[in-house]
Structure 1
Amino acid sequence: MAKKSKSELAVEAKEVASIIAAARKARHNFALFHGKDDLIFKAHKSKNKSACRKMAKDEGAGAKGAVGALEVEEKFVNLIVEDPDSTPANFAKTFRAYLSARGLKMKVRLLSEDGDVIDDGAEGDEEAADAPPELGDDIEQVLEKIAKHFEAMKTSLLRCLNSAPADYRERVVKAVELYKKAMKAKSPDTALKALAALRKLVAATPSPVIITDRLSSAGDDPEALGKLDGLVNTCAAQVTSDPAFMDRAFPEMRDMRKALKTAMNKKPPPSNIAELKAMKEALDTMFYDHVDKPPRAHGPECHGPGLTTQQQEDRILKKKNPRTGKKFKGKPVHKASNFLDEAAFVESQMVLRTQALDHIDDNGIKPPPKGAKPVRLPPMKAKLVDVLGPNWQTSVQGVKRKKQKGQKDTCVDATWGPDSNCKAIYDLLDDGTLRLVTLYPNPIA
């Protein structure tokens, strides 16, 4: 983040101090979001949360943050957040640093609307729980140390219970009960095993907020990212049982895939590379399978990997669907192209779907009424070289119709060039999700 000048901080310090002083007397509504260079904080006594959010957005607020009610008592700033599950990881600590940079030495707590502490600004509990106590002769001392480790992970545990799918939450609750039963029975070895199992469950919770938490903790460290394999596995299991999870967690799973790619480019040890590659391939399969089914099948069936040049020629000359071999209705096509691997298809989907989401947000497009016809978005485009890198031509193939006077039409290789792009069309559905209509690599001729 770019550092702000002393004069800029001084202006903000005066404004923030005024808000804190006023909030000591009366509850305010607030909006606190990550911006391009720093946090953006807006609060007002009479304006509602939506108005505070708009004020923050007008100053460049991003998507990650929180809205809610602000209360100040003594040295505590209490943020009573509206949606705890979507609050960024370590947000209390981040806001505490923001206040400190403006001369306000305050403690920050994030609370649920029921008054539960969901983040007290303490250091992350990953490190605190990494080295559980060793079993010794003094059982009471060991049990006390184990209890401290359980307390250290309470914030993450609460976030897990708030955001996990119901069936997964049941597993976590059972693990907590086993831990408490072992502690009551004063059985430290069983308690340690239960605590270790609970930590794994919490760390691998398939939820958008947990994905963000784990990515925030791992940063760009290839070894730390390699430990997210359990999270990838549970996300895959969740997508299988609940396909809609992919829509809910798309931005976070996209960020995880991007982090894995970045880590692989840092050239870690071969064993770590293999681990990261396997995780990325698992995510690629999840993303690809998510669109490779009706009514989302056109992109993969006509432009996905595994198609031969002959199938593409039959699509042009015989109007045959490459996947089914059946003749399709409508006008004949004059170009046919496809991606050669899932990764290239998914990479293009990542970029173009993000474009579509930005288009919806920038233009204030609302989902249609329930049961109404989807809203067709304009085509999203991006140059293949920008999406797939300098070797993009190894990931696409295509043919085009060639007319011959007095003879049947034939096909020749499509012409690719630096301006060749990938193109996607999306529908916005009544539940607010996007449906991929088609996605394909687009040769220039």
Structure 2
Amino acid sequence: MNSREEVTHSKFHRKALQVKEAQSRIIEYAKVLDTEEVPLYQSPGRYLAEPVYAPHPFPAFNRSGMDGYALIAADTEVMNEGDLIWLDIVDNIPCGAVPAVDIRRGTAARIMTGAQVPQGADTVVMLEATESREVDGLLQVGIRKLHKAGRNVTPIGFELREGELVLPAGRMIKAGDIAVLAAFGIPFVKVIRRPKVGIFATGTELLEVHEPLVPGKIRNSNSPMLEALVRESGGDPVMLGAIVDDIELARSKVQMALESYDLVITTGGVSVGDYDIMGDLIRENSGDMLFNKVTMRPGSVTTAAVRGGTLLLALSGNPGACFVGFHLFARPVILQMQGAVQPFLPEWTAVLGAEYSKVNNYTRFVRSRLEIHEGRLYAYPVSIDESSVMVTIKDSDCLIVVPPEERGLSAGDSVKVLKLPGEIRGLESMAGS
């Protein structure tokens, strides 16, 4: 058998892995990248490289919960029903000010919401529940009701104690985290570097987005989609264009990319046709191959290898399969490289909203949309779920997982779904109905 026959023969003898096993193999090589410090305002969407502990209690002082008067609760215990007690006003404390005097029995301080409660005071009476008068040039406040200690006072360390864990490592920083970091005076945040991801497509039939359509050609939609998906995952995509079906050109381009980037993703050329050059290229060094077939639809030909320590993920050229393959394999790698605690898509349970009759010997990941009706989550398969179909990608916010043993599903069945990143898009159609 000559070399060409050997390559052709090997194309049809792929050992298929279960999805979980394939994910396990590829994630093993997704090493967490080095760290860097970024300004606080640049940190949203980044992943914390180390845990953050409270450098001081928060709040750092006993804080007034409203405008009113700070006083000693015991002063109100001597009142009879309907009585009015009068306390001398000895201080006026706006926000940001430090109390000038301590509070003793028979005295009170005017205080604003958020201001520091003076020493000695243990309660704050709201302004609307008081009266005021002036006696011999001295201002006094009148209190009619009994007040318990601690009322309208947020004690020091109420939200967080000094040394307490604030944010764990591996957490993606969001707006609420920014508020906490700012409150603790942390202007720079240590995060994991964004992975640089090289992206290119293969196929003589591909046109660039700006090029006019000609017979027999299609525009390269997968590469821009992958660029957006990499960004959504926190990576830094580098577009390497499309290359014709030339294995020598592909070999040199792949090698350059593997030496330059943290992850290389290709789309197209991984099937068993005469011009599927990526499959041939990876098979040349079969010892570096992690897998070249997965028991999934769409995208069973998804292939992965590691060369020189760098992962190479070859996705199907079919848009639907490329989209699914990215979320099952590329996205977890990119998140893992950033130290994310949960790199895989979350698994939810939903009610199947419409019959799904397609059966297969492999697990099928069905592009679907989610809707909420009367507090229950429903998943509706998209109208066309073929591997080659591109337009229904935009309507999908989850993947229904259909195991091979299922010989068709009925509306109302309970199904497992993988939630895709972003909002539930089905809520938009519900709002318009």
Q: Report the TM range for the smaller structure's normalisation.
A: under 0.3
Q: Please identify which structure carries the higher helix content.
A: 1
How does the TM-score come out when normalised to structure 2?
0.22
Find the structure with the greater CA-based Rg. 2
Instruction: Identify which of structures 1 and 2 has the higher relative contact order when contacts are C-alpha pairs closer than 8 Å and 6+ apart.
Output: 2
More strand by share: 2
